Amino acid sequence: MLLLISPINHEEALESIKGGADIVDVKNPKEGSLGANFPWVIKDIRELTPEDKLVSATLGDVPYKPGTVSLAAMGAHVSGADYIKVGLYGTKNHDEAVEVMENVVKTVKDISPDTIIVAAGYADAHRVGAVGPMEIPKVAKDAGCDLAMLDTAVKDGKTLFDFLNMDELKEFVDEAHSYGLKTALAGSVKKDQLKPLHDIGCDVVGIRGAACVGGDRNTGHIHHTAVAELKELCESFDN
Ligand SMILES: O=C[C@H](O)COP(=O)(O)O
């Protein structure tokens, strides 16, 4: 299981890399759960990250505006992102979500077929009126994405597991795998929750809070020792 860590700036990206993150996920928590950061931050982090490591960029908790989101996807691509995450926040159902994602796929894959496109839904979608979490694997498949992901929309201390039980999470992973897609799971995941995610076949775990000093994604800062501990655990399951 790969470890995706979400830094907000140059210093946190260096800490993430030093700790052994597999994917460096540029984010701006001030703008929401999957808040987008600025092009120059993504470019800087791509430049400081070793070439063999993926840099991810999130486009934000996006509205149902396929044109706007496609243009944002182009911005992430030209800034150097290898992995583009789209938070399906304003899309209320399968068809709206597919319309956004297929245009992102077209925008990016026409010029860069190897860039990884991630359809990210929310385990607590009902709290914000977004497309339901169990619909995300089919959305990702129908739109031609590479990964189906879940996070939480509201960062209020509740975790992924407060909204979906292990059977539901396994169903999510199994359905995505049956379409040939990879999966990523996130949402205030703590270190003792890594093993259950690994055991259901999750491909990528996404973390910010648990990689921060004090465990707070907003007031804390990512520290390499916390990242290294998470990385060591992920590796121990695979051995
Ligand atoms: O993509 C993953 C997120 O950054 C997870 O953040 P969190 O662990 O603070 O919920």
Would you list the DSSP string of 86-106? EEE-S--SHHHHHHHHHHHHH
Give the chain's end-to-end CA distance (angstroms, integer).
Answer: 11
Our answer on whether the CB atom of 7 is closer than 6 Å to any ligand 1 atom is no
238 has a pLDDT exceeding 80: no
Q: What is the mean pLDDT of the chain?
A: 96
Share of the chain above pLDDT 90, in %: 95
239 has a pLDDT exceeding 80: no
61 has a pLDDT exceeding 90: yes
Our answer on whether the CB atom of 91 is closer than 6 Å to any ligand 1 atom is no
215 has a pLDDT exceeding 80: no
139 phi, psi to nearest 5 deg: -60, -50
Average pLDDT over residues 64-82: 98
Provide the residue type at 106 as one letter.
Answer: K
Q: What is the structure's pLDDT at 214?
A: 78
Average pLDDT over residues 148-164: 96
Model confidence at 136, pLDDT cuts 50, 70, 90, reads: very high
Long-range contacts formed by 21-24: CB under 8 A, 24+ apart: 21/53, 21/227, 21/231, 22/53, 22/54, 22/204, 22/231, 23/53, 23/54, 23/55, 23/56, 23/83, 23/204, 24/49, 24/53, 24/54, 24/55, 24/56
Task: Please list, in sequence order, all residues whose beta carbon lies within 8 angstroms of the beta carbon of residue 214, skipping any fewer than 6 positions away.
Answer: 220
* 227-237 residue pLDDT tens: 999 999 999 98
Mutate to test the pocket of ligand 1, among 2, 151, 163, 185 (most ligand atoms within 8 A of CB): 151
Q: What is the structure's pLDDT at 48?
A: 98
Our answer on whether the CB atom of 206 is closer than 6 Å to any ligand 1 atom is yes
Our answer on whether the CB atom of 85 is closer than 6 Å to any ligand 1 atom is no
What spacing in Å lies between the alpha carbon of 217 and ligand 1's midpoint? 8
* 183-212 residue pLDDT tens: 999 999 999 999 999 999 999 999 999 999
Share of the chain above pLDDT 70, in %: 100
Assign residue 79 the CATH number of its domain: 3.20.20.70
Q: Is-catalytic flag, 27? A: yes
Q: Which residue is closest in CA terms to ligand 1's atom 2?
A: 206
Our answer on whether the CB atom of 189 is closer than 6 Å to any ligand 1 atom is yes
Task: Supply angle C-alpha 66, 68, 72, rounded to 5.
Answer: 110
112 has a pLDDT exceeding 90: yes
Mutate to test the pocket of ligand 1, among 163, 190, 217 (most ligand atoms within 8 A of CB): 217
CA–CA gap between residue 184 and residue 137 (Å, rounded): 11
Average pLDDT over residues 9-14: 97
Count of domains in the chain? 1
Interface predicted TM-score of the whole assembly (ipTM), two decimals? 0.97
CA–CA gap between residue 151 and residue 153 (Å, rounded): 7
Q: What is the structure's pLDDT at 218?
A: 79
What spacing in Å lies between the alpha carbon of 226 and ligand 1's midpoint? 14
Task: Please list, in sequence order, all residues whose beta carbon lies within 8 angstroms of the beta carbon of residue 239, skipping any fewer than 6 positions away.
Answer: none
Closest Cα partner for 209 from 11, 12, 2? 12
Q: What is the structure's pLDDT at 219?
A: 79
Model confidence at 182, pLDDT cuts 50, 70, 90, reads: very high
Model confidence at 111, pLDDT cuts 50, 70, 90, reads: very high
**Structural domain of residue 217, as residue ranges?**
2-238
